[in-house]
Structure formats: C-alpha cells, structure tokens
Amino acid sequence: MRPLPFKARAYVGFVALAGFSTLWFGLLHWETASVMRFLCCLVLAVVSSGLKVRLPGVTGTMSVNFLFVLVGAVEMSLAETLVIGCSGSVVQVFWNAKLRPRPVHVIFNVAAMANSAAVCHLVCHLRLPGVASAPGMLFLACCVYFLMNTLTVAGVIGLTEGKALAQVWKDCYFWSFPYYLVGSSLIGLLLVPVRLASGDSLFFVVPMMFVIYRSYGLYLGRLETEKTHVEEIASLHLRTIEALALSIDAKDNTTHEHLQRVQVYATELGKELGLNNEELEAIRAASLLHDIGKLAVPEHIISKPGKLTAEEFEKVKIHPVVGAEILERVHFPYPVVPIVRYHHEKWNGGGYPEGLKGEEIPLGARILAAVDCLDALASDRQYRRALPLDEAMRVVAAESGVSFDPQVVEILERRYRELETKARALSNERAQLSVDKRIEKGAAPAAGFQSNGGRARSSIESGDFLSSIAAAKQEFHMLFELTHDLGNSLSLDETLSVLAVRLKRMVAYDAIAIYVCREERLAPVYVNGEDFRFFSSLEIPIGQGLSGWVAENRKPILNGNPAVESAYLKDEGRCSLMGSAVAVPLLGLNGAVGVLALYHQEKEAFTTDDLRILQAVSSKLGISVENALKYRQAERSASTDEMTGLPNARSLFLHLDSEVARCRRLHLPLAVLVCDLDGFKAVNDRFGHLEGNRVLRLFAEQLRSSCREYDYVARMGGDEFVFVLPGFRAEALESKKRVLRELAREAGRRVCGEDLLSASVGEAVFPDDGSDTEQLLAEADRRMYQAKEIGKRTRHLGLATLEMPVPAGMIQ
C-alpha cells in the first residue's frame, strides 16, 4: 500500500488511458446476437472471478474467468466481451481481498482487462494466413490473451516492487500457460453445443471451471510450501554463514560490526546497479565471508599496530585466494567465489591476486572493494584511529578510476550517509548473550577459591557474544605475541608501544605509564591515555608513592590509589583524576629496572585476572626494557661526545652523508661550517683543564640553542665544532659566523671573566664548493685555517702597535 514510484504511475496512466478508451469505443458500438447467452456468460464470469488463487512472490491473484473471456472473444461482439472481462476483473479485485483496494488498483485492473480482451477479440476475428480453422484461431487467441494479460500485470508489479519484468513474468506467470491451453481446449469442445443450443449450455463449463480452479489451488499451495521451505533453508544457510564469519572476525573484536555494515552497503549498491536476485544473494554472502581467508594469515600480522614489512604483506595477499578455495567447497548456488577472489583487485590493474583491471573485475567484487575500503577507513584499527565518515568518503572518492570503479564510487558518494544510518539501525538490533549473568548454583572446587583484594568481576565487560568468543583465545595469543614481539626489537619506544597495544586488548585501562629507574628515581619513558601530561611530569623517588613502593619492594599493587603520586609532580597544582591503579615491578638481570602501571577512572576497576596477566608479561618485559636501555646507552656512547653531549665525529659523517644525498636529490643548498676556538689553549694554561672543560660545555649549549630545529651541530674533536645547515645560502653565512664569534667571547667571559676567546669559522656550500662529504669538510676546514691566520696577523699587528716605544720628548 506504499505510494507508487513515478515510473509505475506513468505506466498505470498509459494502461488506463488505452483501456478505458477501448471500453468506451466498445460500449458506443454495442450489439448482441443473444441476450440470454450474454447474460449466462456474464454470470459465470462473475462467479468464476471469485475462484481466485494468490500468486507466489507477488501481491497479485489469478482466477479462471479467462474461460468466459475466450468464449466472448470467439462467439460474441467486442462490447459483450469487454463487459464480461471488466465485470469479472472488478469482482476479482474486491472479492475476499485482504486489504481494501485503492482506486488506482481497480482502474488499472479494469483497464488491463479491457486491453487484453479487446486484442483477444481482434485476433479471433482476423483472417490470418495459415490459421483458417476455429481451433487454430482459438489457440492463437488464447496465447495472445495470456501474453497481454500477464505481461501487463507483471510490468506494474516489476515497477512497483523494483523487480525485473522478465523475472517477475517468468517466476509468477509463465508456469500458468499450460492451464490457459487446457482451458482453451475445453472451450473449443463446447463451441458446437453453445452454437446449436441456447446460452444455458454454458453451464456445462462449471465442472471444468472448478477442476481448473482446484488444480490451480493445489499446485500453488504446493509451490508456496516448497518456496517457503527453500526460503527457510536459504535463511538458515545465510545465518550459518553469518555466524561463521562473525566468529572468524572475532579474532579482532574491534571490527566485529565491520561485516554487517559492509553487507548493508554492498547490497544496497547492488540493487541500484541492477544486480539480479542471484547476484544480490552472492554479494550478501561474499560481504560476510570476504575475509575468511585471513585464517591462513598469522594473527600477529593481522593485528600489527604499525606498517607491514614486504614479507608480511606477501603473506596478507594470499587471503583472497585462500578464501575463494575454501568457499569453492561449499558449492554456492550463486557466484560467491569470484567476488571473494577478486575483491582486492583495482580498477587500474594494480591490485591482487591476478592484476585484473576495469570491467574484467566482477561487478560484485568492484562493489565490495569500494565499500570495504570506506568502512575500514571509518573504523578504529590497531594501527590508526577511525577517520570521520565524510573524510573517509573523500579518500575513497579520490581513488575513483584508480582503485575503484567510478560508477560504484559515484553511487556510494551519493548515498553513503543514508546507508550509514541504515547500517547503524541494524547494528543496534543485534541480539546479545547473557555472558555477564551470575550463576548462583554450583559448589566450590575441592581446592577452594583464592582470596584476593580485588573485587570479583568478569574479565569480559561486554555482553557481546563476539567478545566471549575472542576472550577464550586472547590471553594465550597475547602472551605468545608479546614473547615474539618484545624480543624482536631493541628500540625502547617500539617495545613499549607494542606492549600498550597488546595490553589494551586484554586489560581495560584508561592510561598506561612505564617508569624506569634513574639515579634513585622513577622517570616515565612511555605514557599513553588519559592524564598524559600528569603522568609524563612525574619523578618518583624509589620507595615513595605507589610506583616507588612497587619498585623498592618488587611486589605488585592491585587497585592502589593513583592520587599518592601527585606529591612527586613537577607542577604541584595538578592532580590525577584516576580512581584506581595496578602496578607490577619490571625485573631485569640486576634487579628492578622499572614499573609498569595501569590506571582506570573507576575505583576497584582491576581484577586479579588483570594482575595475573601483567605478572605473566612483566618478566619478559623487564628483560626487554633492560636490553633496550643498554642498547640505547651503547648507541648513545657510540654516537655522542661524552663531555658536551653533542654528536661526535662518527655521527657527523653519517648525518652529513645523508644530508648531502637528500639535498642532491631535491636540488637544495647545504652549508657546512667548521668552527675552532681561538685562545682556548690560553684558558687551559691559565685556569686549568677543568675550567677549559666548562668552557666547552657552555659553548656547546650555546651552539645548540642558536640552531634551528633541523640544523645539526657536532664536536669534531678538541675545540673544533661542525655545523650542517640545510637550506642555508652563501649570503646568510656571514651573519651566522658573527653570531658564533660572539658566542665564543660570551663563553670565555662567563667562565674566565675575561675576553680570552674568539672563533675562526670556515664555510663550504653544496654543490658549489664540493659534491660530497669529504670535499665539503676539507674546503670548510681550509677556509677556517685561513680565517685563523688572518686573525693571528690582525692580533699581532695590534699588539706591535701597543708595544711601540714612546719618544723621549713625549714623556711629561
């Protein structure tokens, strides 16, 4: 009873205009040869119209009144045939209707019947070559009436319900053609007595009419039963597929709604692109199963929080092939396998596994590729946060004609907000299991229960059944993955970021902080989550506060109070809003190396299960942190000057090689300055080497503060320093050299109280003065010695002038 689409309204209007014009023409030319025969045929047509059966799959009915339309077309005038057919059609619409028919329904059915009856009557009274006999003419008229009647109704059903005309006609009407032929044969047998006798001989048709009606009913009843059974089996099949797919997707429970959302998007796009029923069923199943091949990809690759290596990506690329091979064994009645196999192909041929391009890729796979990308971008992943939906759509649209079919992207861009609303509505309807229900019955095990200080609480907070599936495997997988991943890197930052991602999947927390022991204090080396600035500013003495107590006693704390850490904050005006904390010591080979602490906004938020997981992790993490700290120290010692903290000569050469290569590639200038302290030997001779070291450290600090963020300064050795200044042009170097000379004088005055120091500076510019590291350093060093010689001569001349003898006559 929903409003008709525009195309359906236009079609109905055309049929109604033609039908009522035909009816008007027939009534204007009324004639009858036998009133009794006409009335008998009209009565029987009206009665037979009540003997109707409902058609499977559509909102339509069919009756046996066509028998009397055929009689009228053969034996009566056009007007009589039209009245008989239209009267029966009106009765069929109103008789025993489930819903009160709308006027448009009545108008359409009467008009369609008028058109069919008129064409049938016309065929019966034509003298067609090769059709001279009455039975042949009756057969032809029956075929024409069947086609006119069924195609007209199938057309409006298709336009109203969004189905293809041929498909509606084939599924709902084609099977009834034999009944029309049987009916026409019976009418042919009755033509002789109808012509010889009076009109009441037509009542001999009544038993035949009832037999046809009953056979209609029995056949359609059986057909409806079988159709319902098939639909139930198909629905069960699809629900089984969905359960399998969701249980597989539970490997990563952050994306458990991904499949359902992709299915909604892909199915709606398929409808708009004109996919038939089989293709739509295929895309529904493929939307759920497209990632089933990830069973063959190790979980640590799927869940990796950073970029994949080339080898890992090669492993990921097998999943569409494996998925297709798995699904080939199912023998789907619709083409699911090609969609799954090719859903990572790209429009320009740059995809995998076979590098198909353009329309070589199945349409279902093209739809799934665009939809899958959009939902992945708009969902949280281990390696990034979700993009806003509009921004995700812009990313997909930018790949139109490159990765995705432009036609698919155009429809998706037009409808994505509407489809998002629909997907969210379906997502909110998902059933949930009672995994958080407390079971009161059941005796304690023989060993009793462990006593603990944490409140009893299920580790699974969510009632989502996917979480309950994933939780059974998560602890084992996490410990395995951590053991594998923590041993793979000596980078402290990488080690701790991997830990944070893995822990988040097992233990609910709002903030994480990892402290290391430094000179009787705990300093944070990794902080993430809420109150980031608060925990990043802590410096906790060993033995004090919550984390300091854990480090000194090497014992864990469950549901401690994070507020006690506030006393060790650099900013005393701030405090943490966290309500509870769990902390475990990180033990290395030589004792405690730090503390792992998790914080939650709620009080008593952590369980003994959470503590058990952290303790299982802490031993491996402690060794990894200790190794990473040693590696960092060794790396720093190898590349850093111990006295000044600046990079040393080894580090300088590596950095300068890299910068020269970059500037050569980008056609950028690069300046190299070599700076040497003048008068430094006098400082050591007069004030001692300790004061000389102070001068070097102070000068190094000043050099660092005078540099841009991306400049580089290193100590070459002794009192010689080197600057690497990317983007610096020759005309700006004089100003930089004056600054360096002033910094040298300032360092001498602050340490020695005298103007003992200056600086000689030589420069070289890439590519004018050299094309590689050695040439640039050699040229800068040569110019530095030139500047040093000029400075010596200048000072020597000034000194000689001061010591020149004064003439005796000038003495007063």
Q: What is the pLDDT of residues 780-804, one digit of tens each?
A: 899 988 888 887 777 665 544 334 3
pLDDT for res 245: 64
Q: Is residue 519 helix, strand or coil?
A: coil
Confidence of residue 686 (pLDDT cuts 50, 70, 90): confident
In this predicted structure, the answer to whether residue 379 has a pLDDT above a threshold of 70 is yes
In this predicted structure, the answer to whether residue 366 has a pLDDT above a threshold of 90 is yes
pLDDT for res 463: 42
Q: Residue 123, class by beta-carbon neighbours within 10 Å (0-12 exposed, 13-18 middle, 19+ buried)? A: buried
pLDDT for res 131: 47
**To the nearest whole percent, how much of the chain has pLDDT over 70?**
72
**To the nearest whole percent, how much of the chain has pLDDT over 90?**
8
Reported as a single tens digit per residue, the pLDDT across 743-770 is 888 888 888 888 888 889 999 999 888 8
Residues 69 and 145: beta-carbon distance below 8 Å: yes
Q: Quick one: tokens of 315?
A: 């492993």
pLDDT for res 263: 85
pLDDT for res 332: 78
Give the DSSP letter string of 676-691: EEETHHHHHHHH-HHH
Confidence of residue 808 (pLDDT cuts 50, 70, 90): very low
Confidence of residue 345 (pLDDT cuts 50, 70, 90): very high
Domains of the chain, first to last: 6-226 (no CATH), 257-427 (1.10.3210.10), 473-639 (3.30.450.40), 649-801 (3.30.70.270)
CA–CA dist 272, 410 (Å, integer)? 11
pLDDT for res 472: 44
Matching residue, tokens 């009160």: 100
**Residues 303-316, mean pLDDT to the nearest whole number:** 70
**Residues 160-172, mean pLDDT to the nearest whole number:** 74
If one counts every other C-beta atom within 10 angstroms of the C-beta of residue 203, the result is 12
Maximum distance among all Cα pairs of the chain, rounded to whole angstroms: 173
Confidence of residue 636 (pLDDT cuts 50, 70, 90): low
Share in percent of the chain as helix, strand, coil (round to 5): 60, 10, 30
If one counts every other C-beta atom within 10 angstroms of the C-beta of residue 257, the result is 20
In this predicted structure, the answer to whether residue 436 has a pLDDT above a threshold of 50 is no
Nearest to 201 by CA among 211, 192, 212: 192
Q: Is residue 38 helix, strand or coil?
A: helix
In this predicted structure, the answer to whether residue 413 has a pLDDT above a threshold of 70 is yes
Confidence of residue 343 (pLDDT cuts 50, 70, 90): very high
Reported as a single tens digit per residue, the pLDDT across 475-491 is 556 666 666 666 555 56
If one counts every other C-beta atom within 10 angstroms of the C-beta of residue 666, the result is 9
Beta-ladder partners of 511? 529, 599
Q: Is residue 788 helix, strand or coil?
A: helix
Chain center to CA of 518: 43
**389-398 vs 363-377: helix axis angle to the nearest 10?**
140
In this predicted structure, the answer to whether residue 467 has a pLDDT above a threshold of 80 is no
pLDDT for res 234: 65
Beta-ladder partners of 541? 521
Reported as a single tens digit per residue, the pLDDT across 569-610 is 655 556 677 888 899 998 877 778 888 899 988 888 888 878
pLDDT for res 575: 67
The four Cα atoms 18, 20, 26, 28 give a dihedral, to 10 degrees, of -120
Instruction: Give kind and range of the element (H or E) at residue 527.
Output: strand 521-529
Confidence of residue 196 (pLDDT cuts 50, 70, 90): very low
**Residues 545-552, mean pLDDT to the nearest whole number:** 84
User: Distances from the Cα of 631 to the Cαs of 485, 518, 635, in angstroms?
Assistant: 17, 16, 6
User: Distances from the Cα of 644 to the Cαs of 62, 697, 698, 708, 759, in angstroms?
Assistant: 98, 5, 8, 19, 18
pLDDT for res 465: 41
pLDDT for res 793: 77
Q: Higher-confidence residue: 206 or 415?
A: 415
In this predicted structure, the answer to whether residue 434 has a pLDDT above a threshold of 50 is no
**Residues 294-318, mean pLDDT to the nearest whole number:** 72
Which of 141-150, 373-382, 488-497, 637-646 is the least confident region? 488-497
Q: What are phi and psi of 603, to 5 degrees?
A: -80, 150
Instruction: Give kind and range of the element (H or E) at residue 746.
Output: helix 733-752
| Residues constituting the chain | 812
Q: Higher-confidence residue: 469 or 797?
A: 797
pLDDT for res 762: 92
In this predicted structure, the answer to whether residue 152 has a pLDDT above a threshold of 90 is no
